[in-house]
Amino acid sequence: MENLRRLIEKKKSKGNEKTPRYGMRKLTVGLVSCMLGYMIFVSPVVVDAAEVKPEEENTIKVHSLEENLPKPDNVEVNELRENDEVIETNNVKTSTVDEKNSLVVSEEEENTDESSEVSELDKVSKENGINEESSSREDTEQGSLTVEETNQETQENKADEEEQEQENVALPTMYAVRSISDKAASGNTEHEMLGYAPNKKYNFQDLKFSPDDLSKNNRTTVANFEMYGKHNIAASTDNWKVNLQIDERLAKYITKIEVEPKRIAGASSQRIVFQRKNDTLGRSKNIWVANYIRGNNGIFAGGETTDTQTAHNGKIYFEKPVKDILAEIGDSQLRSDKLFYRIYLTSKQDKDKIVPGIDSTGFFKVQGIDKDNIENTVSTGNDWFKHSSVESRYEKNPKIGSSNGAIVVDHKISKNSNLSYILSAKNKPWNLEYSVDPRLVKYIDGIELYKMGNATDVTPDFSFEGRSNKKVGDLSIDRRPNNSQYGKGYFTDNRLQDYVNFSDASPRPVIIRYVYKLNKPMEQILEELRNEAGVSEGEPFGDDFVFHAWLTDKTANALIPKTHGVGFYRVQDIDGDGKSDDEEVNNNQSPYIGKPQIKAPYSGDKKVKASVLLNENAGKGNTAQLINKNGEVVATINNLNAEENGVPKTIIKELELNVDNPSKLGKVGDELTVRIIPSDPRFTKGEEAKATVKEAPKAVKEAIEITKDTDLADDSSIAKSGIANAAKMPEGTKYSWKTTPNTSELGEKTGVVLVTVPDRDEPFEVTVPVKVVQGFEVTVTNPPKQIEGQEVAANTKVIEANEDGFTISGVHDEGNNYGLTIDENGNLSGTPNGLSWGDKDSNTYEEQNITLHAIVTSEDGNSTKNVEVTVTVQRDTDGDGTPDITDTDDDGDGIPDTEEN
């Protein structure tokens, strides 16, 4: 039997190169052999071609013996192609209630590897089968092989293995083995945000990475691990890639990662070497990839669909001893900043998006730093599981019940054997225990528990839309900051099976969903976290927040073995636009292109300014478009590259979109969109910013009147009066004359006003109509000489204007109070007196001037003139009405002045 298995394995390895030659006779014999082999060798599991489509007449349908298995509707199964065959095996559910039968199930499962491999060999299709499991049905028909044939097959198999090793040397462009001499980290260590393929499209159920604890005494350059994988329907092709991301502090020293794929016992092993992934610039990332399907140089057997498969003897090779790497990191960092990993499955046909539910995180435990178990004791008799992990992501879904979205944490527990919680679990009821990173507690509004009924379907549905994925309870956490239980929660129920889908009597994993609803929008949380970290706006940001989930038995302090899952949610914003990367990718937007900024244009503009931040990984060939409200592209910039002088660089690109026809911008108030379209085909939706068309400054229709000879050199008020919609211009707008009208001549003129708005690089030039008119004119006439002590004659006009209705105000003589004023009609009035006269030799001995000041205002009040009236007053010593300058007897004593002198 052992020799037969080895021979079959060798024949399988050649199946990739051979074209099966199946006739109807051979097809029938093969099917009968399959049924006989099943009855003789295989434990009570069944083959279920659940995914064969009715129209695929060339595929033989093997009906299930098990009733009431869920049958998926309208699903695409593992990229079903004409060369692919789909078969699922499921364990028959037991209705026996005693523990003995539960143990029988476990014993039967021990034979799963052998039985499933035999079943794989017996699967058939009309002309083509699964590449991995293709074997010579001719040899199977004959039922035996000679020793010579066996030796020949052995030699051929060795040659095939050598040829395959040579093929493995040629690597795809996207992947590259890192040079040992390349010790510097690339710095490109972001969490990949790829988005997710559709739910219910594929049948993958489980994928986990289980590293051994790292030892600070490990002098070797090797760390060990295992991988676990499960799918529900047999498949082939190289469509699916296992992605393994490792903390950069370890990754920068890794030279190779390899693992032994799942094999039939005793078969020769060809180790699978992971290939290092490059970023868009060709630089090494801290992510390694390998094919999932063993038949395509991958890790897991495509035809084995019963239990969770284990890929053994994984090795991570480092450039220097593990103990030296850990010493370099330091105990303090190892305690506070764990050495995380992430494993996830991507689909090429879905543009390398992640297969839903097949994405989880964890960390490398370090001996002496990390506890083996989160609890002090371990529950006995409950060794049902082999590994546990946590997947966390941000989702915004109406069913969550929070407009701010939530961090969704899926606790995934892989089984060792089929578990019936009701019949077989010991020390029930078990308890759900969970915790959230203390830094996030303040952002948690509430916690919901979901029973994931559809997550263990043949084609799993991890969405909130799944009819059997439903909320079953509200949870809580300790919110006392100084309490040791801060951020932790606990739930139990005597009927825990009503809250958790244990996938009873099935090898499929247990999936428990915790929904941590947010009390603020993710953009606001991201901004606060960025500020706390001191990261400026526009700069990339990322931080990991830890989540734990585990099961305990009814004692509440004994861990159900292998159920402790720990992982992280990474809040990340590579392009610094204030939106988390996972939210962008979920919206099919590039996380490498920031949200653009656009300056709202004015009507009639021929240029529209915008800017956008491009992360260096945005690459070349991006496109900027300007789109009007009708959806018409009115301007385009091609080859928008994330580089400077030909060198890749994270850079803010200033954009100037030239519009051939300004009318295409639309009318005032119409919406415009600037859209940045990524060149990366994975992201189908561009980043957008919107603005509305503003009203440009307009000239007045009626000419503004400017007084003749007005000096406009430094004028702004008159210039502004020529703009009809000046009140609508933004604050800080300035007005000046570019071309001043000629005000020396009366008549119709034009002038050009510069309108400088703060949000536009160039000022507007507006031609305004002008009418030069004769302005408000005031005429001042100095009155005849007045005699001291004599009242001014009536109607002595001193001020006149070229219009009626003017007013005079503010008349004064500089505070001298010499008795003179000017009335409202512009006449001088009063009696001059109180003057101080000089001596005989002074120029004020017999005459002096009084200055009267006045303000003359036009009838409309818009024009004023400040005027001065000079009044000459003659001295009259004796008060006889004759001024001394002509009086022959100044003092009036009857003696002529000539005689007195």
Residue 558 DSSP SS3? strand
Identify the weakest region by mean pLDDT among 125-134, 204-213, 841-850: 125-134
CA distance 839 to 847: 11
866 pLDDT more than 90: yes
Give the pLDDT score at 35.
Answer: 47
Looking at per-residue pLDDT, the higher value among 739 and 9 belongs to 739
Please give the full DSSP string across 665-726, using - where no structure is assigned: G-STT-EEEEEEE-S-TT--B-EEEEEEPBPPP-B-SSPEEEETT---TT--HHHHHTBTTG
Give the pLDDT of residue 410.
Answer: 95
- Cross-strand partners of 538: none
How far, in Å, CA of 735 to CA of 752, rounded? 10
CA distance 697 to 752: 12
Judged against a pLDDT cut of 70, whether residue 178 lies above it is answered with no
Residue 268: CB atoms within 10 Å: 13
For the CA atoms of the chain, what is the radius of gyration? Answer: 47
Q: Residue 637 is which amino acid?
A: I
In angstroms, the CA 127 to CA 57 distance is 12
- Going from the C-alpha of 727 to that of each of 601, 723, 756, the distances in angstroms are 18, 9, 14
Between residues 25 and 757, which one has the greater pLDDT? Answer: 757
Stretch among 203-217, 268-282, 706-720 having the lowest mean pLDDT: 268-282
Residue 70 has pLDDT above 70, yes or no: no
The answer on pLDDT for 116 being more than 70 is no
**Average confidence (pLDDT) over 518-538:** 87
More confident residue, 133 or 700: 700
Q: Which two tokens stand for residue 316?
A: 């991570």
Can you read off the two tokens belonging to residue 101?
């039968």
Q: Residue 355: what residue type?
A: V
User: What does the pLDDT read at residue 658?
Assistant: 95
pLDDT at 73 over 70: no
Can you tell me the distance from the alpha carbon of 151 to that of 819, in angstroms, rounded to the nearest whole number?
A: 143
pLDDT on residue 189:
57
What is the helix (H) or strand (E) element at residue 168, kind and residue range?
helix 147-169
d(CA 635, CA 626): 5
Q: Are 13 and 161 in contact (CB under 8 A)?
A: yes
CA–CA dist 377, 392 (Å, integer): 27
pLDDT in tens, 672-682: 999 999 998 88
User: How many CA atoms does the CB half-sphere of 60 hold within 13 Å?
Assistant: 18
Round to whole Å and give the CA distance between 822 and 812: 9
Cα separation, 276 vs 292, whole angstroms = 15
CA distances for 140 relative to 1, 33, 600, angstroms: 14, 8, 75
| Distance in angstroms (rounded) separating the CA atoms of residues 314 and 868 | 107
Strand 704-707 versus strand 764-773 pairing type: parallel
Distances (CA, A) of 828 to 25, 587, 794, 824, 846: 138, 86, 8, 10, 21
Minimum mean pLDDT range among 44-58, 67-81, 459-473, 509-523: 44-58
Q: Is the pLDDT of residue 187 over 70?
A: no
The reported pLDDT for the residue numbered 46 is 32
Q: Highest mean pLDDT range out of 36-45, 566-575, 582-591, 739-748?
A: 739-748
pLDDT level of residue 764 (50, 70, 90 thresholds): very high
Is a pLDDT exceeding 50 seen at residue 526? yes
pLDDT level of residue 556 (50, 70, 90 thresholds): confident
- Looking at per-residue confidence, does 901 or 560 come out higher? 560
pLDDT in tens, 457-482: 899 999 998 899 999 999 999 999 99
Q: Where are the alpha helices (DSSP H) in 752-896?
A: none
Question: Model confidence at 177, in pLDDT bands (50, 70, 90)?
Answer: very low
Contact of 364 with 247, CB cutoff 8 Å: yes
Residue 898: is its pLDDT beyond 60? yes
Q: Give 227: exposed, middle or buried? Use CB within 10 Å, 0-12, 13-18, 19+.
A: buried
Rounded Cα distance between 62 and 81, Å, is 18
Burial class (CB in 10 A: 0-12, 13-18, 19+), 844: middle
What does the mean pLDDT of the chain come to? 79
Task: Quickly name the fold that domain 778-874 has.
Answer: Immunoglobulin-like (2.60.40)
Res. 24 pLDDT band, cuts 50 70 90? very low
CB contact at 8 A, 885 and 846 = yes
> Is the model's pLDDT at 221 over the cut of 70?
yes
For residue 102, give both structure tokens. 């539960």
Residue 93 has pLDDT above 90, yes or no: no
pLDDT of 269 > 50? The answer is: yes
How far, in whole angstroms, is CA 420 from its chain's centroid?
42
DSSP state of 175: B
- What pLDDT is attached to residue 304? 87
Chain-centre distance of CA 398, in angstroms? Answer: 20
**Contact (CB, 8 A) for 302 and 132:** yes
Instruction: Give yes or no for residue 50 having a pLDDT over 60.
Output: no
Between CA 458 and CA 233 the distance in angstroms is 7
3-state helix, strand, coil in the chain (%, to 5): 20, 35, 50
Angle between helices 112-121 and 2-15 (to 10 degrees): 50
Q: How many CA atoms lie within 13 A of 837 on its CB side?
A: 15
**CA–CA separation, 204 and 235 (whole Å):** 10
> For 829, phi and psi rounded to 5 degrees?
-145, 165
pLDDT of residue 380: 92
Q: pLDDT tens digit string along 637-669? A: 999 999 999 888 888 999 999 999 999 999 999
Q: Is the dihedral of CA 490, 493, 496, 499 positive or negative?
A: negative
Contact between 290 and 240 under an 8 Å Cβ cutoff? The reply is no
Phi, psi dihedral angles at 454 (to 5 degrees):
-85, -10
- The whole-number average pLDDT for the span 232-239 is 85
Residue 582, H or E segment:
helix 581-586
More confident call, 509 vs 56: 509
* Alpha helices, DSSP H, located in 18-146: 24-41, 99-109, 112-121, 137-142
Average pLDDT over residues 415-430: 90
pLDDT for the residue 852 = 96
DSSP bridge pairs for 474: 448
Q: Which two tokens stand for residue 518?
A: 């947010």
Task: Identify the band that residue 321 occupies on the pLDDT scale cut at 50, 70 and 90.
Answer: very high
Q: What is the pLDDT of residue 190?
A: 66
pTM of the model: 0.63
Residue 813 has pLDDT above 70, yes or no: yes
* Tokens describing residue 707: 């007084």
The third-level CATH classification (topology) of the domain covering 596-690 is Immunoglobulin-like (2.60.40)
Beta-carbon count within 10 A of 226 CB: 18
Position 841 scores a pLDDT of: 86
Residue type, 621: G
- CB 565, CB 411: distance < 8 Å: yes
For the residues of 468-527, what is the DSSP string, one character each? Answer: TEEEEEEE--B--TTSTTBTEEEEE-TTGGGTSB--TTSSSPEEEEEEEEESS-HHHHHH
Q: Report the DSSP pairing between strands 88-91 and 254-260.
A: unpaired
Give residue 188's identity as a one-letter amino acid code.
Answer: N
